[in-house]
Chains A and B, each alone.
Chain A
Amino acid sequence: MASAFGRVAATRGLLLRLKDQLKFVKKGLEVLKMKRDHIAGEVNKLLEDVRRRPQIERKAMEIYEYVKDAYLSVGYQRMASMADVVGSVEIRPRTITVMGVRVPVIDILREPDISRISDPVVAKAAILMWDLLKDVIGMAVVETTIEKLAYELMETNRKVNALEKEIIPSLADLIRYIEDRLHEEELADFIRVKHIRDVLRGRRG
Protein backbone atom coordinates (compact mmCIF):
# COMPACT_ATOMS: atom_id res chain seq x y z
CA MET A 1 0.00 0.00 0.00
CA ALA A 2 2.76 2.36 0.88
CA SER A 3 4.25 2.01 -2.57
CA ALA A 4 0.99 3.19 -4.18
CA PHE A 5 1.34 6.57 -2.49
CA GLY A 6 5.09 6.75 -2.75
CA ARG A 7 6.91 8.36 0.12
CA VAL A 8 4.00 9.82 2.02
CA ALA A 9 4.75 11.43 5.31
CA ALA A 10 2.05 9.94 7.53
CA THR A 11 1.43 12.86 9.82
CA ARG A 12 -1.68 14.10 11.60
CA GLY A 13 -1.36 17.45 9.79
CA LEU A 14 -1.44 15.75 6.39
CA LEU A 15 -4.33 13.56 7.49
CA LEU A 16 -6.38 16.64 8.43
CA ARG A 17 -5.48 18.33 5.16
CA LEU A 18 -6.42 15.23 3.19
CA LYS A 19 -9.72 14.90 5.03
CA ASP A 20 -10.52 18.54 4.21
CA GLN A 21 -9.53 17.89 0.59
CA LEU A 22 -11.77 14.82 0.43
CA LYS A 23 -14.69 16.81 1.84
CA PHE A 24 -14.08 19.53 -0.75
CA VAL A 25 -13.77 17.03 -3.60
CA LYS A 26 -16.99 15.31 -2.52
CA LYS A 27 -18.78 18.67 -2.52
CA GLY A 28 -17.33 19.33 -5.99
CA LEU A 29 -18.60 15.95 -7.09
CA GLU A 30 -22.07 16.83 -5.85
CA VAL A 31 -21.99 20.10 -7.78
CA LEU A 32 -20.73 18.36 -10.93
CA LYS A 33 -23.46 15.74 -10.60
CA MET A 34 -26.03 18.51 -10.27
CA LYS A 35 -24.57 20.20 -13.35
CA ARG A 36 -24.60 16.90 -15.23
CA ASP A 37 -28.23 16.27 -14.30
CA HIS A 38 -29.21 19.80 -15.27
CA ILE A 39 -27.44 19.56 -18.65
CA ALA A 40 -28.98 16.12 -19.23
CA GLY A 41 -32.38 17.63 -18.41
CA GLU A 42 -31.79 20.47 -20.89
CA VAL A 43 -30.70 17.99 -23.58
CA ASN A 44 -33.76 15.86 -22.87
CA LYS A 45 -36.01 18.86 -23.27
CA LEU A 46 -34.35 19.74 -26.58
CA LEU A 47 -34.59 16.15 -27.81
CA GLU A 48 -38.35 16.71 -28.04
CA ASP A 49 -37.65 19.48 -30.57
CA VAL A 50 -35.13 17.37 -32.49
CA ARG A 51 -37.80 14.72 -32.96
CA ARG A 52 -39.56 17.27 -35.20
CA ARG A 53 -36.70 17.06 -37.70
CA PRO A 54 -38.19 14.31 -39.92
CA GLN A 55 -41.43 16.30 -39.92
CA ILE A 56 -39.55 19.43 -41.03
CA GLU A 57 -37.72 17.44 -43.70
CA ARG A 58 -41.02 16.11 -45.04
CA LYS A 59 -42.45 19.62 -44.96
CA ALA A 60 -39.35 20.88 -46.81
CA MET A 61 -39.91 18.36 -49.58
CA GLU A 62 -43.58 19.37 -49.94
CA ILE A 63 -42.69 23.05 -49.96
CA TYR A 64 -39.90 22.43 -52.46
CA GLU A 65 -42.53 20.96 -54.79
CA TYR A 66 -44.73 24.03 -54.26
CA VAL A 67 -41.86 26.41 -54.95
CA LYS A 68 -40.99 24.45 -58.10
CA ASP A 69 -44.60 24.83 -59.23
CA ALA A 70 -44.44 28.56 -58.57
CA TYR A 71 -41.27 28.80 -60.68
CA LEU A 72 -42.89 26.83 -63.47
CA SER A 73 -46.00 28.98 -63.26
CA VAL A 74 -44.45 32.45 -63.48
CA GLY A 75 -40.98 31.72 -64.86
CA TYR A 76 -37.57 32.53 -63.45
CA GLN A 77 -37.44 36.25 -64.28
CA ARG A 78 -40.83 37.13 -62.77
CA MET A 79 -40.15 34.96 -59.74
CA ALA A 80 -36.81 36.74 -59.21
CA SER A 81 -38.54 40.09 -59.59
CA MET A 82 -41.21 39.17 -57.04
CA ALA A 83 -38.49 38.00 -54.67
CA ASP A 84 -37.02 41.53 -54.90
CA VAL A 85 -40.12 43.12 -53.43
CA VAL A 86 -40.19 41.31 -50.09
CA GLY A 87 -36.97 42.92 -48.88
CA SER A 88 -34.18 41.21 -47.06
CA VAL A 89 -34.46 39.16 -43.90
CA GLU A 90 -32.38 40.43 -41.00
CA ILE A 91 -31.19 38.11 -38.28
CA ARG A 92 -28.86 38.60 -35.31
CA PRO A 93 -26.98 35.58 -34.03
CA ARG A 94 -25.86 35.78 -30.37
CA THR A 95 -25.00 33.41 -27.58
CA ILE A 96 -26.43 32.80 -24.10
CA THR A 97 -24.96 30.70 -21.29
CA VAL A 98 -26.65 27.55 -20.04
CA MET A 99 -24.75 26.04 -17.04
CA GLY A 100 -21.58 27.67 -18.25
CA VAL A 101 -22.06 26.49 -21.83
CA ARG A 102 -22.33 29.14 -24.54
CA VAL A 103 -25.22 28.18 -26.83
CA PRO A 104 -26.47 30.05 -29.91
CA VAL A 105 -29.67 32.08 -30.19
CA ILE A 106 -30.87 33.65 -33.46
CA ASP A 107 -33.11 36.70 -33.26
CA ILE A 108 -35.14 37.54 -36.35
CA LEU A 109 -34.98 41.32 -36.56
CA ARG A 110 -36.81 41.79 -39.87
CA GLU A 111 -39.19 39.37 -41.54
CA PRO A 112 -39.81 39.46 -45.31
CA ASP A 113 -42.99 41.38 -46.24
CA ILE A 114 -44.73 38.68 -48.24
CA SER A 115 -47.96 40.68 -48.49
CA ARG A 116 -46.21 42.81 -51.14
CA ILE A 117 -46.16 39.90 -53.64
CA SER A 118 -48.87 40.39 -56.23
CA ASP A 119 -49.04 36.85 -57.64
CA PRO A 120 -51.05 34.57 -55.32
CA VAL A 121 -49.14 31.38 -56.25
CA VAL A 122 -45.78 33.06 -55.61
CA ALA A 123 -47.15 34.65 -52.41
CA LYS A 124 -48.28 31.25 -51.13
CA ALA A 125 -44.88 29.72 -52.03
CA ALA A 126 -43.16 32.57 -50.17
CA ILE A 127 -45.39 32.11 -47.09
CA LEU A 128 -44.59 28.39 -47.01
CA MET A 129 -40.90 29.00 -47.63
CA TRP A 130 -40.56 31.58 -44.86
CA ASP A 131 -42.40 29.30 -42.47
CA LEU A 132 -39.98 26.52 -43.38
CA LEU A 133 -36.96 28.81 -43.06
CA LYS A 134 -38.02 29.73 -39.51
CA ASP A 135 -38.30 26.02 -38.69
CA VAL A 136 -34.88 25.37 -40.21
CA ILE A 137 -33.32 28.24 -38.23
CA GLY A 138 -34.98 26.91 -35.06
CA MET A 139 -33.73 23.39 -35.78
CA ALA A 140 -30.19 24.63 -36.46
CA VAL A 141 -30.21 26.42 -33.09
CA VAL A 142 -31.55 23.34 -31.29
CA GLU A 143 -29.05 21.00 -32.94
CA THR A 144 -26.09 23.29 -32.23
CA THR A 145 -27.26 23.73 -28.62
CA ILE A 146 -27.54 19.97 -28.19
CA GLU A 147 -24.09 19.50 -29.70
CA LYS A 148 -22.58 22.04 -27.31
CA LEU A 149 -24.48 20.67 -24.30
CA ALA A 150 -23.62 17.08 -25.22
CA TYR A 151 -19.94 18.00 -25.36
CA GLU A 152 -20.19 19.68 -21.97
CA LEU A 153 -22.14 16.68 -20.63
CA MET A 154 -19.37 14.37 -21.82
CA GLU A 155 -16.73 16.57 -20.18
CA THR A 156 -18.68 16.79 -16.93
CA ASN A 157 -19.30 13.07 -16.94
CA ARG A 158 -15.60 12.48 -17.44
CA LYS A 159 -14.85 14.73 -14.45
CA VAL A 160 -17.51 13.00 -12.33
CA ASN A 161 -16.10 9.61 -13.27
CA ALA A 162 -12.56 10.72 -12.53
CA LEU A 163 -13.62 12.04 -9.12
CA GLU A 164 -15.85 9.09 -8.33
CA LYS A 165 -13.65 6.29 -9.62
CA GLU A 166 -10.15 7.69 -9.20
CA ILE A 167 -9.60 10.75 -7.07
CA ILE A 168 -12.04 10.11 -4.23
CA PRO A 169 -11.16 6.39 -3.81
CA SER A 170 -7.44 7.18 -3.94
CA LEU A 171 -7.84 10.03 -1.43
CA ALA A 172 -9.92 7.75 0.80
CA ASP A 173 -7.28 5.03 0.47
CA LEU A 174 -4.54 7.51 1.28
CA ILE A 175 -6.44 8.71 4.34
CA ARG A 176 -7.02 5.11 5.40
CA TYR A 177 -3.35 4.34 4.83
CA ILE A 178 -2.25 7.34 6.87
CA GLU A 179 -4.77 6.50 9.60
CA ASP A 180 -3.47 2.92 9.64
CA ARG A 181 0.10 4.15 9.73
CA LEU A 182 -0.71 6.55 12.54
CA HIS A 183 -2.57 3.80 14.36
CA GLU A 184 0.37 1.45 13.92
CA GLU A 185 2.75 4.14 15.10
CA GLU A 186 0.52 4.81 18.13
CA LEU A 187 0.43 1.09 18.84
CA ALA A 188 4.21 0.84 18.46
CA ASP A 189 4.64 3.83 20.76
CA PHE A 190 2.24 2.29 23.27
CA ILE A 191 4.09 -1.06 23.18
CA ARG A 192 7.42 0.71 23.37
CA VAL A 193 6.22 2.77 26.34
CA LYS A 194 4.80 -0.35 27.98
CA HIS A 195 8.04 -2.24 27.36
CA ILE A 196 10.13 0.59 28.81
CA ARG A 197 7.77 0.80 31.79
CA ASP A 198 8.15 -2.98 32.32
CA VAL A 199 11.95 -2.74 32.03
CA LEU A 200 12.01 0.16 34.48
CA ARG A 201 9.74 -1.72 36.87
CA GLY A 202 12.05 -4.81 36.57
CA ARG A 203 15.12 -2.76 37.47
CA ARG A 204 13.40 -1.20 40.47
CA GLY A 205 12.01 -4.52 41.62
Chain B
Amino acid sequence: MRGPSIIYLITRAHGLRTHLLTPAQYTSLVKSKDLQSVIEILLRTDYAEEIGRLPVGRARASDLNRIFEKTLAERVYYLIKVSPRTVRRFLEYYARKFEVENVKRILRVIEGGGERGEVPLIPIPRPYVTVNYQAMLEARDVAEAVELLKETPYSDVIGKLASYRKYGSLLILEGALDNSYYTLLWKSISKVPDRKQIASLVGVEMDLKNIYIIVGLKISGIHPDIIGEVAISEGYKLSPQEITSLVAAKAEGVVDIVARSFYKDLSESVREAIEKEDPRLLEGAIRRHMYTHVFKCASRYSTGLGYVVSYLQLCEYEARNLTAIALGKELGLPEEKLSELIFL
Protein backbone atom coordinates (compact mmCIF):
# COMPACT_ATOMS: atom_id res chain seq x y z
CA MET B 1 0.00 0.00 0.00
CA ARG B 2 1.49 3.31 -1.07
CA GLY B 3 1.53 6.26 1.28
CA PRO B 4 -0.61 9.32 0.47
CA SER B 5 2.48 11.40 -0.28
CA ILE B 6 3.54 8.98 -3.03
CA ILE B 7 0.01 8.88 -4.41
CA TYR B 8 0.04 12.68 -4.37
CA LEU B 9 3.37 12.71 -6.29
CA ILE B 10 2.05 10.32 -8.94
CA THR B 11 -1.17 12.32 -9.26
CA ARG B 12 0.88 15.52 -9.52
CA ALA B 13 2.96 13.96 -12.31
CA HIS B 14 -0.29 13.08 -14.13
CA GLY B 15 -1.45 16.66 -13.74
CA LEU B 16 1.89 18.07 -14.86
CA ARG B 17 1.90 15.88 -17.94
CA THR B 18 -1.11 17.80 -19.19
CA HIS B 19 1.21 20.83 -19.35
CA LEU B 20 3.39 19.10 -21.94
CA LEU B 21 2.78 20.16 -25.51
CA THR B 22 0.10 18.28 -27.40
CA PRO B 23 0.55 16.74 -30.88
CA ALA B 24 -1.66 19.56 -32.26
CA GLN B 25 0.67 22.17 -30.77
CA TYR B 26 3.68 20.37 -32.24
CA THR B 27 1.97 20.37 -35.64
CA SER B 28 1.43 24.14 -35.40
CA LEU B 29 5.06 24.64 -34.36
CA VAL B 30 6.39 22.53 -37.19
CA LYS B 31 4.14 24.32 -39.70
CA SER B 32 4.96 27.81 -38.42
CA LYS B 33 6.71 29.93 -41.00
CA ASP B 34 9.66 31.15 -38.93
CA LEU B 35 11.20 31.39 -35.49
CA GLN B 36 9.03 34.39 -34.59
CA SER B 37 5.89 32.33 -35.23
CA VAL B 38 7.32 29.56 -33.02
CA ILE B 39 7.81 32.13 -30.27
CA GLU B 40 4.23 33.36 -30.65
CA ILE B 41 2.89 29.81 -30.23
CA LEU B 42 5.13 29.18 -27.23
CA LEU B 43 3.83 32.35 -25.60
CA ARG B 44 0.60 30.42 -25.03
CA THR B 45 2.40 27.61 -23.15
CA ASP B 46 4.38 27.07 -19.93
CA TYR B 47 7.36 28.72 -21.61
CA ALA B 48 5.52 32.07 -21.88
CA GLU B 49 7.04 33.69 -18.80
CA GLU B 50 10.67 33.08 -19.81
CA ILE B 51 10.10 33.74 -23.51
CA GLY B 52 8.22 36.94 -22.70
CA ARG B 53 11.47 38.33 -21.24
CA LEU B 54 13.30 37.98 -24.55
CA PRO B 55 13.73 41.15 -26.64
CA VAL B 56 10.88 41.34 -29.14
CA GLY B 57 11.88 40.32 -32.65
CA ARG B 58 15.51 39.66 -31.69
CA ALA B 59 15.24 36.26 -30.01
CA ARG B 60 17.41 33.52 -31.47
CA ALA B 61 17.19 29.74 -31.31
CA SER B 62 20.13 29.74 -28.88
CA ASP B 63 18.10 31.91 -26.46
CA LEU B 64 15.19 29.50 -26.72
CA ASN B 65 17.50 26.52 -26.19
CA ARG B 66 18.68 28.11 -22.94
CA ILE B 67 15.04 28.59 -21.87
CA PHE B 68 14.12 24.99 -22.73
CA GLU B 69 17.06 23.72 -20.65
CA LYS B 70 16.09 26.00 -17.77
CA THR B 71 12.41 24.98 -17.89
CA LEU B 72 13.38 21.31 -18.01
CA ALA B 73 15.54 21.73 -14.91
CA GLU B 74 12.74 23.64 -13.16
CA ARG B 75 10.25 20.88 -13.92
CA VAL B 76 12.58 18.26 -12.40
CA TYR B 77 13.34 20.37 -9.31
CA TYR B 78 9.66 21.16 -8.83
CA LEU B 79 8.89 17.43 -8.59
CA ILE B 80 11.72 17.00 -6.09
CA LYS B 81 10.17 19.75 -3.98
CA VAL B 82 6.75 18.05 -3.84
CA SER B 83 8.09 14.52 -3.44
CA PRO B 84 8.13 12.55 -0.15
CA ARG B 85 11.44 11.79 1.55
CA THR B 86 11.52 8.17 0.30
CA VAL B 87 11.57 9.31 -3.32
CA ARG B 88 13.29 12.66 -2.93
CA ARG B 89 16.76 11.19 -2.51
CA PHE B 90 16.41 9.27 -5.78
CA LEU B 91 15.04 12.31 -7.63
CA GLU B 92 17.89 14.44 -6.34
CA TYR B 93 20.34 11.92 -7.78
CA TYR B 94 18.32 11.88 -11.00
CA ALA B 95 18.47 15.69 -11.24
CA ARG B 96 22.25 15.64 -10.91
CA LYS B 97 22.41 15.09 -14.68
CA PHE B 98 22.14 18.89 -14.96
CA GLU B 99 25.03 19.39 -12.57
CA VAL B 100 27.09 16.77 -14.40
CA GLU B 101 26.39 18.60 -17.65
CA ASN B 102 27.45 21.91 -16.05
CA VAL B 103 30.69 20.40 -14.72
CA LYS B 104 31.41 18.97 -18.18
CA ARG B 105 30.84 22.39 -19.75
CA ILE B 106 33.28 23.97 -17.30
CA LEU B 107 35.93 21.30 -17.88
CA ARG B 108 35.55 21.68 -21.65
CA VAL B 109 36.09 25.42 -21.59
CA ILE B 110 39.14 25.04 -19.34
CA GLU B 111 40.58 22.29 -21.55
CA GLY B 112 39.97 24.27 -24.73
CA GLY B 113 41.35 27.50 -23.26
CA GLY B 114 38.17 29.43 -24.16
CA GLU B 115 36.49 32.42 -22.53
CA ARG B 116 35.45 31.21 -19.07
CA GLY B 117 32.97 33.98 -18.43
CA GLU B 118 30.74 32.74 -21.23
CA VAL B 119 30.03 29.17 -20.12
CA PRO B 120 26.27 28.59 -20.51
CA LEU B 121 25.37 26.77 -17.30
CA ILE B 122 21.97 25.22 -16.62
CA PRO B 123 20.42 27.08 -13.64
CA ILE B 124 20.10 24.81 -10.63
CA PRO B 125 18.35 25.93 -7.40
CA ARG B 126 20.97 26.65 -4.75
CA PRO B 127 19.96 23.88 -2.25
CA TYR B 128 20.70 21.26 -4.91
CA VAL B 129 24.07 22.60 -6.04
CA THR B 130 26.92 20.46 -4.74
CA VAL B 131 29.74 21.93 -6.84
CA ASN B 132 31.40 25.33 -6.54
CA TYR B 133 31.18 26.41 -10.19
CA GLN B 134 32.92 29.73 -9.60
CA ALA B 135 35.94 28.08 -8.00
CA MET B 136 36.09 25.56 -10.83
CA LEU B 137 35.95 28.34 -13.41
CA GLU B 138 38.83 30.08 -11.65
CA ALA B 139 41.01 26.94 -11.58
CA ARG B 140 44.34 27.12 -13.42
CA ASP B 141 43.80 23.89 -15.33
CA VAL B 142 41.54 20.85 -15.62
CA ALA B 143 43.37 18.93 -12.90
CA GLU B 144 42.94 21.77 -10.41
CA ALA B 145 39.25 22.07 -11.34
CA VAL B 146 38.72 18.32 -10.86
CA GLU B 147 40.48 18.45 -7.48
CA LEU B 148 37.69 20.81 -6.40
CA LEU B 149 35.22 17.92 -6.74
CA LYS B 150 36.74 16.38 -3.62
CA GLU B 151 33.82 17.02 -1.26
CA THR B 152 31.13 16.41 -3.86
CA PRO B 153 29.25 13.30 -5.07
CA TYR B 154 31.67 13.23 -8.01
CA SER B 155 34.85 12.76 -5.96
CA ASP B 156 35.52 9.46 -7.84
CA VAL B 157 36.44 11.56 -10.85
CA ILE B 158 39.63 12.68 -9.08
CA GLY B 159 40.85 9.08 -9.28
CA LYS B 160 40.68 9.31 -13.07
CA LEU B 161 43.13 12.21 -13.28
CA ALA B 162 46.03 9.79 -13.79
CA SER B 163 44.30 8.26 -16.81
CA TYR B 164 43.43 11.72 -18.08
CA ARG B 165 47.10 12.68 -17.93
CA LYS B 166 48.17 9.37 -19.49
CA TYR B 167 45.87 9.59 -22.51
CA GLY B 168 45.59 13.39 -22.65
CA SER B 169 41.87 13.08 -23.28
CA LEU B 170 39.04 14.88 -21.52
CA LEU B 171 36.76 12.03 -22.61
CA ILE B 172 38.09 10.09 -19.61
CA LEU B 173 36.87 12.72 -17.15
CA GLU B 174 33.53 13.15 -18.91
CA GLY B 175 33.12 9.37 -18.81
CA ALA B 176 34.06 9.34 -15.13
CA LEU B 177 31.38 11.96 -14.42
CA ASP B 178 28.77 9.86 -16.23
CA ASN B 179 29.95 6.77 -14.37
CA SER B 180 29.75 8.57 -11.07
CA TYR B 181 26.26 9.88 -11.91
CA TYR B 182 24.82 6.52 -13.01
CA THR B 183 26.49 4.53 -10.22
CA LEU B 184 24.98 6.75 -7.52
CA LEU B 185 21.62 6.92 -9.30
CA TRP B 186 21.56 3.14 -9.72
CA LYS B 187 22.33 2.59 -6.05
CA SER B 188 19.66 5.07 -4.98
CA ILE B 189 16.98 3.09 -6.85
CA SER B 190 17.28 0.21 -4.39
CA LYS B 191 15.75 2.36 -1.65
CA VAL B 192 12.76 3.58 -3.65
CA PRO B 193 9.28 2.01 -3.82
CA ASP B 194 8.42 0.65 -7.29
CA ARG B 195 12.13 0.15 -7.86
CA LYS B 196 11.52 -2.28 -10.74
CA GLN B 197 9.60 0.34 -12.70
CA ILE B 198 12.23 2.99 -12.09
CA ALA B 199 15.08 0.57 -12.83
CA SER B 200 13.45 -0.26 -16.13
CA LEU B 201 13.47 3.42 -17.16
CA VAL B 202 16.84 4.47 -15.77
CA GLY B 203 18.47 1.15 -16.68
CA VAL B 204 17.42 1.25 -20.32
CA GLU B 205 18.57 4.87 -20.55
CA MET B 206 21.94 3.89 -19.07
CA ASP B 207 22.38 0.87 -21.36
CA LEU B 208 21.44 2.83 -24.46
CA LYS B 209 23.81 5.63 -23.54
CA ASN B 210 26.54 3.02 -23.12
CA ILE B 211 25.85 1.47 -26.54
CA TYR B 212 25.82 4.91 -28.16
CA ILE B 213 29.07 6.01 -26.52
CA ILE B 214 30.93 2.75 -27.15
CA VAL B 215 29.82 2.31 -30.78
CA GLY B 216 29.97 6.03 -31.55
CA LEU B 217 33.50 6.42 -30.21
CA LYS B 218 34.56 3.31 -32.14
CA ILE B 219 33.23 4.96 -35.31
CA SER B 220 35.17 8.11 -34.39
CA GLY B 221 38.34 6.00 -34.18
CA ILE B 222 38.96 6.50 -30.45
CA HIS B 223 41.40 4.02 -28.88
CA PRO B 224 39.65 1.06 -27.13
CA ASP B 225 41.57 1.77 -23.90
CA ILE B 226 39.99 5.23 -23.76
CA ILE B 227 36.56 3.80 -24.63
CA GLY B 228 37.02 1.33 -21.77
CA GLU B 229 37.57 4.23 -19.38
CA VAL B 230 34.59 6.17 -20.77
CA ALA B 231 32.03 3.33 -20.83
CA ILE B 232 29.53 3.21 -17.97
CA SER B 233 30.45 0.27 -15.77
CA GLU B 234 26.91 -0.34 -14.49
CA GLY B 235 24.47 -2.21 -16.68
CA TYR B 236 20.78 -3.07 -16.57
CA LYS B 237 20.04 -5.49 -19.38
CA LEU B 238 23.64 -5.31 -20.55
CA SER B 239 25.77 -7.60 -18.44
CA PRO B 240 29.29 -6.53 -17.36
CA GLN B 241 30.64 -9.18 -19.78
CA GLU B 242 28.65 -7.68 -22.63
CA ILE B 243 29.94 -4.19 -21.80
CA THR B 244 33.54 -5.49 -21.69
CA SER B 245 33.05 -7.37 -24.96
CA LEU B 246 31.54 -4.27 -26.62
CA VAL B 247 34.54 -2.20 -25.56
CA ALA B 248 37.09 -4.78 -26.68
CA ALA B 249 35.38 -5.86 -29.92
CA LYS B 250 36.30 -4.56 -33.33
CA ALA B 251 33.60 -2.59 -35.13
CA GLU B 252 32.22 -5.67 -36.95
CA GLY B 253 32.10 -7.69 -33.73
CA VAL B 254 30.03 -5.02 -32.00
CA VAL B 255 27.06 -5.78 -34.27
CA ASP B 256 27.03 -9.45 -33.22
CA ILE B 257 27.24 -8.56 -29.53
CA VAL B 258 24.33 -6.11 -29.83
CA ALA B 259 22.37 -8.67 -31.89
CA ARG B 260 22.72 -11.23 -29.08
CA SER B 261 21.84 -8.74 -26.34
CA PHE B 262 18.52 -7.45 -24.99
CA TYR B 263 18.84 -4.58 -27.48
CA LYS B 264 18.91 -6.79 -30.56
CA ASP B 265 16.39 -4.43 -32.26
CA LEU B 266 19.21 -1.93 -32.54
CA SER B 267 21.67 -4.27 -34.26
CA GLU B 268 20.67 -3.18 -37.78
CA SER B 269 21.12 0.48 -36.89
CA VAL B 270 24.48 -0.34 -35.30
CA ARG B 271 25.53 -2.19 -38.46
CA GLU B 272 24.41 0.66 -40.72
CA ALA B 273 26.10 3.30 -38.55
CA ILE B 274 29.37 1.33 -38.57
CA GLU B 275 29.24 0.59 -42.30
CA LYS B 276 28.47 4.19 -43.23
CA GLU B 277 30.67 5.57 -40.42
CA ASP B 278 27.72 7.77 -39.48
CA PRO B 279 26.83 7.94 -35.75
CA ARG B 280 23.65 9.89 -36.61
CA LEU B 281 21.99 6.66 -37.70
CA LEU B 282 22.68 5.08 -34.33
CA GLU B 283 21.76 8.18 -32.35
CA GLY B 284 18.38 8.47 -34.09
CA ALA B 285 17.59 4.78 -33.57
CA ILE B 286 18.59 4.91 -29.90
CA ARG B 287 16.51 8.00 -29.19
CA ARG B 288 13.53 6.44 -30.96
CA HIS B 289 14.00 3.19 -28.99
CA MET B 290 14.18 5.07 -25.69
CA TYR B 291 11.18 7.25 -26.52
CA THR B 292 9.06 4.18 -27.36
CA HIS B 293 10.17 2.58 -24.10
CA VAL B 294 9.35 5.72 -22.06
CA PHE B 295 5.98 6.05 -23.72
CA LYS B 296 5.13 2.41 -23.04
CA CYS B 297 6.28 2.75 -19.42
CA ALA B 298 4.11 5.84 -18.95
CA SER B 299 1.04 3.72 -19.84
CA ARG B 300 2.18 0.54 -18.12
CA TYR B 301 3.20 2.22 -14.84
CA SER B 302 0.49 4.88 -14.79
CA THR B 303 -0.25 4.23 -11.11
CA GLY B 304 3.33 3.75 -9.97
CA LEU B 305 6.46 5.83 -9.46
CA GLY B 306 7.57 4.69 -12.90
CA TYR B 307 5.08 7.23 -14.18
CA VAL B 308 6.95 10.05 -12.41
CA VAL B 309 10.22 9.08 -14.08
CA SER B 310 8.44 8.60 -17.43
CA TYR B 311 7.05 12.12 -17.06
CA LEU B 312 10.54 13.52 -16.41
CA GLN B 313 11.91 11.72 -19.44
CA LEU B 314 9.01 13.00 -21.56
CA CYS B 315 9.94 16.49 -20.35
CA GLU B 316 13.45 15.85 -21.69
CA TYR B 317 12.01 14.79 -25.03
CA GLU B 318 9.88 17.93 -25.11
CA ALA B 319 12.94 20.11 -24.49
CA ARG B 320 14.76 18.24 -27.24
CA ASN B 321 11.81 18.51 -29.64
CA LEU B 322 11.48 22.24 -29.05
CA THR B 323 15.22 22.78 -29.48
CA ALA B 324 15.08 20.91 -32.77
CA ILE B 325 12.08 22.97 -33.93
CA ALA B 326 13.63 26.32 -32.94
CA LEU B 327 17.00 25.50 -34.50
CA GLY B 328 15.30 23.92 -37.49
CA LYS B 329 13.28 27.08 -38.12
CA GLU B 330 16.35 29.26 -37.74
CA LEU B 331 18.32 27.06 -40.12
CA GLY B 332 15.44 26.93 -42.61
CA LEU B 333 14.71 23.20 -42.37
CA PRO B 334 11.65 22.01 -44.34
CA GLU B 335 8.55 20.86 -42.44
CA GLU B 336 8.93 17.23 -43.51
CA LYS B 337 12.47 17.00 -42.13
CA LEU B 338 11.40 18.65 -38.86
CA SER B 339 8.47 16.25 -38.50
CA GLU B 340 10.89 13.33 -38.78
CA LEU B 341 13.09 14.76 -36.04
CA ILE B 342 10.53 15.26 -33.32
CA PHE B 343 9.19 12.57 -31.03
CA LEU B 344 5.42 12.42 -30.72
Taking Cβ atoms with an 8 Å cutoff, the residues of A that contact B are 66, 68-73, 75-78, 80-88, 115-116, 118-121, 123-124, 127
Taking CB atoms, residues of chain A closer than 8 Å to B278 are 124
Alpha-carbon distance A119/B209, docked complex (angstroms):
11
Given contacts A120-B220, A121-B279, A124-B279, contact A72 B341 (CB under 8 A): yes
B280 at the interface (CB under 8 A from A): yes
Query: Which of the listed residues B114, B175, B328 has the most CB atoms from chain A within 10 Å of its own CB?
Result: B114
Given contacts A71-B331, A120-B212, A120-B217, contact A84 B114 (CB under 8 A): yes
Which residue of chain A is the closest to B63 with respect to CB atoms? A76
Which residue of chain B is the closest to A78 with respect to CB atoms? B101
Alpha-carbon distance A116/B142, docked complex (angstroms):
13
Beyond A73-B283, A81-B120, 10 additional pairs, beta carbon < 8 A: A66-B280, A68-B331, A72-B323, A72-B324, A76-B327, A84-B108, A88-B113, A116-B112, A116-B169, A120-B215
B69 at the interface (CB under 8 A from A): yes
Given contacts A72-B341, A124-B278, contact A84 B327 (CB under 8 A): no
B129 at the interface (CB under 8 A from A): no
Taking CB atoms, residues of chain B closer than 8 Å to A119 are 216
B344 at the interface (CB under 8 A from A): no
8 pairs of A and B residues whose beta carbons are closest in the complex:
A120-B216, A120-B279, A85-B108, A76-B65, A75-B323, A76-B62, A81-B105, A84-B114
Taking CB atoms, residues of chain B closer than 8 Å to A83 are 112
Distance in Å: Cβ of B257 to nearest Cβ of chain A: 18
Per a CB cutoff under 8 Å, which of B113, B174, B277, B341 touches A118? Answer: B174
Please state if A120 and B219 are interface contacts (CB–CB under 8 Å): yes
Query: Which of the listed residues A69, A81, A119 has the most CB atoms from chain B within 10 Å of its own CB?
Result: A81
**What is the total number of residues of chain B having a CB less than 8 Å from a CB of chain A?**
46
B119 at the interface (CB under 8 A from A): yes
Taking CB atoms, residues of chain A closer than 8 Å to B169 are 115-116
B38-69 CB mask vs A (1 if < 8 Å, else 0) is 00000000000000000000000110011011
What are 10 A-B contacts defined by CB distance under 8 Å? Answer: A70-B280, A72-B333, A76-B65, A77-B62, A80-B120, A81-B120, A84-B109, A88-B114, A118-B174, A120-B279
Taking CB atoms, residues of chain A closer than 8 Å to B217 are 120, 123
Given contacts A68-B331, A72-B328, contact A115 B222 (CB under 8 A): yes
Distance in Å: Cβ of B29 to nearest Cβ of chain A: 14
Taking CB atoms, residues of chain B closer than 8 Å to A73 are 280, 283
